[in-house]
Structure 1
Amino acid sequence: MISVGDFIADLLNPDLAFLPKAVLMAVMSSVVCGVIGCHVVLRGMAFIGDAVAHAVFPGLAVAFVLQGSLVLGGAVAGVATAVLVAVFSQNRRLREDTIIGVFFVAAFALGIVIISRAPGYAGSLQHFLFGSITGIPDEDVVIVAVGGTILLLGVFLLHKEFVAVSLDREMARSAGLPVLWLDLALYVMVTLAIVLSVQTIGNILVLALLITPAATARLLTDRLGMMMLLGPVLGATSAVVGLYLSWSLDLPAGGTIVLVSTAGFLLAWVLAPRHGLLVRKVRGRRAMGPVAVERVAVPAGG
């Protein structure tokens, strides 16, 4: 295993120009997903995040076959599918999650069929499913930087509205907020965040960037503002540490990043200062203390 100093030296090595680019892409993707993921976690939309990751696949496949931009192709497919879900969900005969299951899985299946027609099918499929962070072209780095900035600005501008809908949909609707359009806006933002990140970590694992850091932040704080700050910081930290371990131990980058992020979640689950497992056990023992003392004090014949 190489030292941190050697890893930094490799980052500065001109012959390894792909390495700092990989770190930059991982950090940018983690920050964008960390912010948007906070809203996903607050609204219990993890299933939608998973479904959107499937939905972008046909666009990625078409872009690959046509030698176009993967980011643009994935964005078009994901947004189109999100709009279809929003429209079909207006029929209350079926629940929204049912519509999501139908369309997003169908989109993923379409992507598999499309990519199967391309040369080098097996290698291409692995590239999409598990990512290829060391082979990202320079133009896609620029697209992720610009697209990520626009997404973060959009989240900032709609932050209060998103929070209002998350807390109480009916109250938000009675207050005159366009709940359907806000839902659609969040779907689109989730789609774009996933598209921007899919090359970093792959189509299967990208949900971890969106959910795990935000869930970890949720365990660590009760304040929404702090959660929105912790989410991207935790995600970026996991990305850098994961890439370091991946480079040092010759492990898959995407899987290593996810495992580091999951390890952070498990630590927070156990050690979080207010909601951790240990704190909850200590509180339970304290609550049971007076009861136990009272039981001991009662005479045997009483």
Structure 2
Amino acid sequence: MSAFLTFMAAPAVGCVILALVFTYFGLHVLKREVIFVDLSLAQLAALGATLGFALEWDAHSWGAQGLSLLFILLGALFFAVVEYRFPEVSQEAVIGIVYVVGASLAIIIADQAPHAAEHIQFMLNGSILWITWSGVATLAVTAAGVGLLAWKWRKPIETWFDRKTTAPRSYKRALWDFAFYTLLGAVIAVSIKTAGIFLVFTLLIIPAVCATLFANTLYRQFVLGSVIGAAGSLAGLALSFSLDVPTGAMIVTTFGGLFGLALIFRLIRNGLQ
């Protein structure tokens, strides 16, 4: 038990922080019906990190972090502008295009550097097990800053995320889209090198989806989703430690099991009504 606490304390705190912030954004992503935007933004962050890797910059240097954030800002601006200027184009299609092009560019850049395969696998799976307390502090400060801005801007963000009731060619909607994507991207840029693309997507979507099965208000969904996100992360960490398997992959698999259980419980509850 003491060995588990020694090795897993920092990863556990990091996962709980990510679960809280990504559950909030995940609920908004579901309501906006842009499910794969985090994958696209995460891939852009990975593209920036890969460029830094090819330039032989330290993965946690300000330069490498800055590249990831720059690509995310460009992606957020691109999403907002395309939807504003070309409302007839599906936003999901644009998100998919950016993802596949970003992934291909990352492969091309990584191929020019040694240990390319290891780097690509690292960006997909992350290394949450090796996050330090310094990394946790950076993550906490980022999450707190983003959370404060998201709370301050909650009314315009929530007002403009409804695609069915707001005009597609709206300057204000484009502005708040850019703000929303940038806030989400800032958390992704800080967490992508430790969590990896797969875990980022998992924490953003699965707790939020499970919460919407059992709660019908945003506040209740956030509370329930946060609990599910934290519990799933800690369970995945414990299973990874006990079974000696890759941590990120085990956490993702654990959330897959939780999603299946949520569907079963929902079926049982519907059957009793």
Instruction: Calculate the TM-score normalised by the size of structure 1.
Output: 0.79
**Counterpart among 20, 24, 34 of residue 9 in structure 2:** 20
SS at match of 1:46: coil
Q: Is the 8 A contact 1:27 1:239 kept in 2?
A: yes
Aligned counterpart for 1:127 among listed residues 122, 132, 153: 122
Match of 1:122, SS? helix
| Cα shift at 1:112 | 1.8
In the other structure, the counterpart of 1:32 is: 21
2:87, 2:168 within 8 Å by CA — same for their partners in 1?
Answer: no
Contact 1:29/1:196, CA 8 A, preserved across alignment: no
In the TM superposition, residue 12 of structure 1 has moved relative to its aligned partner by: 4.6
Alignment of 1:22-61 (within 5 A): 22-61=11-50
Equivalent residues of 1:85, 1:103 under 8 A apart: no
Match of 2:138 among 131, 139, 143: 143
Q: Structure 1: which 5+ runs fail to align? A: 1-5, 284-302
Aligned CA-pair RMSD: 2.5
- The corresponding residue for 2:267 is 277
* Equivalent residues of 2:199, 2:251 under 8 A apart: no
1:10, distance to aligned residue in structure 2 (A): 1.6
CA distance in 2, matches of 1:177, 1:218: 30
* 1:99 positional shift: 2.7
Deviation at 1:168, TM superposition (A): 5.6
Aligned partners of 1:173, 1:97: CA distance in 2, in Å? 15
Task: Give the partner amino acid of 1:230.
Answer: L
User: Residue type matched to 1:269 in 2?
Assistant: L
Flag the 1:138–1:77 CA change in 2: closer, same or farther, 3 A: farther
Deviation at 1:197, TM superposition (A): 3.0
Aligned to 1:217: 211
How many residues align? The count is 267
Fraction of identical pairs, as percent:
27
Judged with a 3 Å threshold, the aligned counterparts in structure 2 of structure 1 residues 56 and 252 are, in CA distance, closer, same or farther, namely same
Distance 1:129 1:38 in 2: 23
Larger Rg: 1
Matched residue, 1:157 = 152
Indicate conservation of the 8 Å contact 2:199/2:248, yes or no: yes
Query: Which of residues 52, 70, 87 in structure 2 aligns to 1:63?
Result: 52
Q: 1:177 to 1:221 in 2, by over 3 A?
A: farther
Equivalences for residues 228-243 of structure 1 within 5 A: 228-243=222-237
2:254 pairs, out of 223, 248, 260, with: 260
Residue by residue over 1:76-127, the C-alpha shift from the partner in whole angstroms, topping out at 9 and shown as x without a partner, is 2112122123223313453333332333321222122222223222222211
Structure 1 residues 49-198: aligned runs within 5 Å: 49-64=38-53, 65-67=56-58, 68-69=61-62, 70-89=64-83, 90-92=85-87, 94-167=89-162, 170-171=165-166, 178-198=172-192
Q: What amino acid is aligned across from residue 258 of structure 2 in structure 1?
A: G
Contact 2:34 2:91 (8 Å CA) reproduced: no
Unaligned runs of 5+ in 2: none
Q: Choose 84-93 or 234-243, whichever is displaced more.
A: 84-93
Q: Alignment partner for residue 3 of structure 2, among 3, 10, 13? A: 10
Larger deviation, residues 25-34 vs 192-201? 192-201
Q: Is the 8 A contact 1:130 1:203 kept in 2?
A: yes
Per-residue CA shift, 1:166-195, capped at 9, x if unaligned?
Answer: 346545889x99211111111112222323
More displaced 10-residue stretch of structure 1: 137-146 or 177-186: 137-146
